[in-house]
Amino acid sequence: MDENKICFVCGQEKLDGIYVFDKYICTDCQYDIINTSPEDEKYEYYKECMKAIWDDHIKEEDNVNV
């Protein structure tokens, strides 16, 4: 049975989405991330979210390789 998960980007509980590394992103945020232009005020927020996901993944990888 599917269960709701908390979206890393919007913080809302959603059923449908994907995992990027170990962070869940709902379909609404996926759509917004893909369709936001660099001129949009939300662009920096989405960029920082994706950077945080990548940074967390790198830190986890470093801990595994210690």
- Percent share of the chain, pLDDT over 90: 77
Three-state secondary structure readout of 1-66:
CCCCEECCCCCCEECCEEEECCEEEEHHHHHHHHHCCCCCCCHHHHHHHHHHHHHHHHHHHHHHCC
Q: How confident is the model at residue 28 (pLDDT cuts 50, 70, 90)?
A: very high
Question: Which of the two residues, 10 and 60, has the higher pLDDT score?
Answer: 10
For the chain, give every domain's residue range. Answer: 5-64
